[in-house]
Amino acid sequence: MTETELDPREAAAREEERGKRITEYLRESLRGETRIETPMDSRCEVSVVIPAYAEREGIFRPLLSLARQEGVKPEEYEVIFVVNNPPSEPVRTLDESENDWARKRDLYLMATWQNAQTIEILRFLNGGPMPSHATDEERGQLEEIRSRGTRVHVVDKSGEGRTLPPEEANVGGARNRGVAEAVERFYGQHRKNGIIAQSDADTRFPPNYILSLVRAFGRDPSLVGISGKIEFELSDEVKEMFGGAASTAELFSRYQWVAKALKARKNVLDRKDVPAEEPRVHFSGANMASRAFEAALVGGVPKLAGGEDPAFGFRLAGIGKVAVATDVVAHPLDRFSARTALSAGHGQERLRLKDSLEGEGRLVEHPTVIFIKRQFAGDISRLAGDPTASKEAFRQAATVDGVQLLDDEELQEVVDAVRANMGDLNSSARLRELRGIIDAKLKGMHPDIPIDRAVERLLVEATLDDAVRERYEGALRETYEHEAESAREREVFVRAYAELIRESGIDPLDVDAVLVFLRSHADRLGKTGGADVLRRDPESARKPLQRFGELYRDHPTPDGLVAAVRQAFPELFWNPEENPDRWMLMKLSALMRALE
């Protein structure tokens, strides 16, 4: 008898049990909590939960973009911000360097005033007074958001006496608090298994974000969770540090992705006698979503300072179907951030890279180390799900070239964590310590190497496969031609900009006037992405146009402006000899396509 053919009494008993578990989760998560007073609209399909810690400057990115959603009505979605900070100044941990500690402390001190201002901004959207600290531009944006009828709520876990307990006052605790609020609003008010999306407070959402979420779950009613596509947008500080879109940071990240994809392909080819396993869907807090009831049934989001997002996805995968939804896109900032635990989070990755470039240089993990860790994680997860697996099988999985990466007791701790649905070696301080032991042993066997050598090793390894080599070479040619065409189109855009500014007589530093004029003459700007941005998202074009105006003031001819823009933005006009990082990035992108 299948689940859909259950006896009515058995089905009713199962639903009753689900209800009890959801109620218990809500009781535990919301006990003593101040609740959102405004009821959820009965037509609401999506609740977006966003934790915010020292995010005063970035909060308008999610606010504006969520207010400007298309294809849905304001009453069909809502946004819950959980503004949070620790109850006291964070204590330095043993694995933190002096730089790590200073960044975490400074962030906490900054949050004490930024969070208060963020809460005032969010309360204005619920009928409160206009914040006195809002700039003229922000006042206009706030009026727009409120006039659009966007449902925005705030959970204050920042004010005195309102913070989460010390052990839960972290990004995982904040996410879980918001998720619990959303679950109660769906379940308690409407008995509706709505969609709970989660993201970050620096994220910009495309106009079809909410609609794409609804469609993703609507296409497959069996889904309990999805991991969406993430397209980072460079923050000003990262641009300054790494020199634009072809950043070293992006190169390092892409190298890791391609190495893991290559290992996954090798696993399938090398183990033909073993049925192919479902690929694990990696959840990221910048863009993930779940059904409300299932979020409660797995106990919500783990209250961790980092790694809470993949651990949440791991929990969901334990009770139902999860999938990658590439049409659900979010644009978080690529920035330096000390908001998560030291070994977790994209922002911490950027900080480690920054320290590395200022210190010992452009070294990355040896490809062999990445392969071994990927194999280890997969084997341990598979064995942990097999109750008949022997201790010797676990030892073999943890042994490399005769060296056991963890002793038996340490190995058992990892297995227990996997079986408890933690699923990630960033999930606790102890698991991070165990990961450090593994890393140290592997680096002793295979030390870090320069990024250019690492990329070449990947290419050699991958293109031993004739089919991969053929696809790679084709993808690289296509990518190169596309980049060359894009560079030509960018020059067309710059020349057209200079001509239009000269013809109009507009002050190039009057960005508002320039925006209006350029949008009315977009047909002369060519096919470049810049022209497309002016049509779709003119607000994001403000800063580039400000810089263009400054350059035009000193170089008021098409040829002069092109030369100035080439110098200011070398990553937009390049050749392989001038930008080897960009060339390596193109090779990695082509290899990724060949492996897919």
Query: Six-digit token pair at 517?
Result: 């004029």
CA distance 170 to 427: 12
Could you give the residue ranges of the DSSP H alpha helices within 125-194?
Answer: 136-147, 171-190
CB proximity list for 544: less than 8 A, separation 6 or greater: 530
152 and 63 Cβ atoms separated by less than 8 Å: yes
Using 50, 70 and 90 to split pLDDT, how confident is the model at 246? Answer: very low
Tell which phi-psi region holds residue 10, choosing left (phi > 0), alpha (psi between -120 and 50) or beta: alpha
- On the 0-12 / 13-18 / 19+ scale of CB atoms within 10 A, 88 is exposed
Average pLDDT, whole number, for the chain? 84
Residue 583's pLDDT is 85
Domains of the chain, residue spans: 1-32, 43-340+348-358, 468-581
Long-range contacts of 407-411 (CB under 8 A, 24+ apart): 410/434, 410/437
Q: Select the more confidently predicted residue: 342 or 213.
A: 213
Assess whether pLDDT exceeds 50 at residue 341.
no
Terminal Cα distance for the chain, rounded: 38
Per the structure block, which two tokens stand in for 75?
């009453």
- Show the CA angle centred on residue 500, arms to residues 498 and 505, nearest 5°: 100
Q: How many CA atoms lie within 13 A of 431 on its CB side?
A: 24
Closest CA to 405 of 385, 379, 386: 379
Separation of CA 106 from chain center: 23
Distance CA(524)–CA(521), nearest Å, equals 6
With cut-offs at 50, 70 and 90, classify the pLDDT of residue 43. Answer: very high
Q: By C-alpha distance, which of 312, 332, 331 is closest to 322?
A: 312
**Environment class of residue 337 by beta-carbon count within 10 Å: exposed (0-12), middle (13-18) or buried (19+)?**
buried
Distances (CA, A) of 169 to 85, 90, 337: 6, 10, 17
The stretch 126-143 carries a mean pLDDT of: 95
Count CA atoms within 13 Å of residue 532 on its CB side: 6
pLDDT for residue 528: 56
CB-CB neighbours of 35 under 10 Å: 11
What local confidence, expressed as pLDDT, does residue 277 receive?
42
Instruction: Tell me which CATH homologous superfamily contains domain 43-340+348-358.
Output: Spore Coat Polysaccharide Biosynthesis Protein SpsA; Chain A (3.90.550.10)
Q: Considering only the C-alpha atoms of the chain, give the largest distance between any 2 of them, rounded to a whole number of Å.
A: 80
Which residues lie below 8 Å from residue 126, measured CB to CB, with a gap of 6+?
Answer: 38, 152, 153, 154
Instruction: Assign 428 a pLDDT band (cuts: 50, 70, 90).
Output: low
Q: In the 8-state DSSP scheme, what is residue 283?
A: P
Most confident of 133-142, 269-278, 482-491, 580-589: 133-142
If residue 400 lies in a helix (H) or strand (E), which one and from where to where? Answer: strand 399-400
In angstroms, rounded to a whole number, what is the distance separating the alpha carbons of residues 234 and 250?
Answer: 10
Going by the DSSP 8-state scheme, the letter that residue 331 receives in this structure is B
**pTM over cut 0.75:** no
Q: What is the DSSP letter of 91?
A: P
Q: How many angstroms separate the CA atoms of 59 and 57, rounded?
A: 6
